[in-house]
Amino acid sequence: MSASAIVGRREFIRTGAAIGGGLLVSLYVPLPDGRSDALAAEEKDFALNAFVRIGTDESVTVISAHSEMGQGIYTSLPMLLNEELQADWSKVLVEAAPVDKVYNHPVFGIQMTGGSTTSPAEWERYRRMGALARTMLVEAAARQWNVEASSCHVDNGAVIHGATRRRATYGSLANAAAQLTPPADVPLKSAKAFTLIGKPTRRLDTPSKTNGTAQFGLDVNVPGMLTAVVARPPVFGGKVAKFDASETLKVPGVKAVEQVPSGVAVIAARFWPAKIGRDKLVISIGIWDRMRGSLRTRCCAISQRWRNSRERSPKRQATRQQL
């Protein structure tokens, strides 16, 4: 991925909050060269690696650390977070996370999606992030009203002071809350207090996938971006012995052909020229040529062992006796 594409993914968090103002709650991760303090001072109410962004327009954007592949986590993760945040569900949006270690899988330690693990693995983390945001919003309101935070409660995207019935929306409190230090720990609801988790809920990603506005990987296009398609060996352990790219380089749009550890990469201006160029490569896989005879022998031996075990099976023998 190009550097500009990476910047774009990281910038979308900052840009979105900069346009509307607001609160962005994150886990603190120091930057590699010790620039975290300078960056925080420069951006004020923004932080990297965020899980939830609250805008002054009352929008609540949940950053998903996992990929939506039809399993519904673009709805289940916001549900976990909003169970504690208690924002107006009609204002909740979801965005994909950029690449960063703060989004690593809580169990496997890498940024990944799989094994039906997203919801159980994020069960506590996303609820905690919602609780952190809620606590900061309540504290911001209490300071504005000069009252104790414990005298306030939240309801559907607003902080309410019980005694005076004063009310402030999350969006109106977002900038003030962003100046506060997140608490070290926050209590979470008990299961019997849930109002969103476990309830039928419409998926958040259905409208964009229905009207065509959802952006997928193949939709991304940045200035100067090229596409690479790799021709890989047809067998595990296969290695490229040599290749001929003369016909590939004649395809309009193909920029270069390079051997890489996983095979031969065709680099082009767009996907289709790269794909056509890959199909025109002439590649010799040396290890495959040497392994072919050995593999055939092994396959025959495995098949024979399977037939032998099948013949010796009690069910097979009983059937023969009946006949």
Burial grade of 78 (CB within 10 A; 0-12, 13-18, 19 or more): buried
Q: What does the pLDDT read at residue 300? A: 77
Q: Tokens 């930057």 sit at which residue?
A: 31
Q: Which residues pair with 37 in a beta bridge?
A: none
Q: How far apart are CA 196 and CA 193, in angstroms?
A: 9
Q: Which CATH number describes the domain made up of 3-211?
A: 3.30.365.10
Q: Give tens-digit pLDDT for 208-249.
A: 989 988 888 778 888 999 999 999 988 777 889 999 999 999
Residues linked to residue 258 through DSSP beta bridges, in sequence order:
265
Residue 175: CB atoms within 10 Å = 18
Percentage of residues of the chain with pLDDT beyond 70: 78
Q: How far apart are CA 322 and CA 315, in angstroms?
A: 11
- Tell me the pTM: 0.66
Segments of the chain scoring below 50 in pLDDT: 1-20, 27-49
Three-state secondary-structure class, residue 111: coil
Instruction: Report pLDDT digits (tens) over 98-107.
Output: 888 889 999 9
Contact residues for 122 (Cβ-Cβ < 8 A; gap 6+): 65, 66, 77, 80, 106
- In the numeric block, the tokens 């055939």 are attached to 296
Q: What tokens were used for 216?
A: 């997928």
240 phi and psi angles, rounded to 5 deg: -75, 120
Per-state percent for the chain, helix, strand, coil, to nearest 5: 45, 20, 40
Q: What is the pLDDT of residue 309?
A: 77
Distances (CA, A) of 136 to 25, 108, 152, 154, 164: 9, 30, 12, 12, 20
Count other C-beta atoms under 10 Å from residue 88's C-beta.
17
Q: Which residue has the tokens 């998926």?
A: 203
Token pair, residue 291, equals 């392994």
Q: Could you tell me if 76 and 119 are in contact, meaning their C-beta atoms sit under 8 angstroms apart?
A: yes
**Tokens linked to 142:** 């209490």
112-131 per-position pLDDT tens digit: 999 999 999 999 999 999 99
Residue ranges covered by each domain of the chain: 3-211, 226-323
pLDDT of 306 reads 80
**What pLDDT, on a 0 to 100 scale, did the predictor assign at position 50?**
74
What CATH number is given for 226-323 in this structure?
A: 3.90.1170
Q: Tokens standing for 150? A: 């414990």
